Every structure is written in structure tokens, then in C-alpha cells.
Amino acid sequence: MMKEQMPKPADLAEGRWFWHRMYVYLATLLLWGLLREVVQRAPPEQLRYLADGLMGLVALLGLLYLVAPSAQQVVNLARGRARGEA
């Protein structure tokens, strides 16, 4: 009887979550700071259009975050297609 080998903890995606979170938090802080500067420098009559665009961007990012497949799912799909699986 063959035993299945368990993957090493470093091979699992959960082991890389810390760095993924750190990247997301740092990128978010940087982009928030840049956005703050843009809003402060924008002329008052343009703020409405700036806010509309930013709300659309937030909606798009939220939608992509909720429905987009993870990178691992995309790799699994590509491997399945390469093997001729549907």
C-alpha cells in the first residue's frame, strides 16, 4: 500500500499568506497616501468627477476581488486544459 506524500508546509499557499498580506497592506497604504495628495491638489469644481471615478474603481476592484479566480485556480484550469480535460 502506497502512502500519499503530504506537501511540505512551505509548499502550501497558506505559508505565504503573511507576505501576501504585508504586500497588500503596504500597497494599500501607499495608494491611500497618493490618493490623498491627488484629492488635496484637485480643484474644487473637479472633486465631484474625481469622486465618481474613484467610486467606480472601488466597485470594479470589489467585483474582481469577489468573483475572480485565485492564481492557483487559474493554474489548475490551465493544467487541466493542457491534459485535455474540460
pLDDT (0 to 100) of residue 71 = 73
Q: Quick one: what percent of the chain has pLDDT higher than 90?
A: 10
Answer whether residue 3 is part of any domain: no
Q: Retrieve residue 15's grid coordinates.
A: 505559508
CB within 8 Å of 77: residues ≥ 6 apart:
69
In this prediction, residue 42 carries a pLDDT of 92
> Which three cell numbers mark 54?
474613484
Are 37 and 49 found together in one domain?
no
To 5 degrees, how large is the angle CA 20–CA 7–CA 78?
A: 65
Residues 53 and 85 reside in one and the same domain: yes
Q: With a cut of 70, list the residues of the chain below it in pLDDT.
A: 1-16, 85-86
Q: Report the number of distinct structural domains present in the chain.
A: 2
Same-domain check for residues 36 and 67: no
- Enter the pTM of the model: 0.48
Same domain, 49 and 62: yes
Closest CA to 70 of 20, 3, 6, 7: 20
- Say if CB 39 and CB 55 are below 8 A apart: no
pLDDT for res 76: 83
Domain enclosing residue 34, as ranges:
10-41
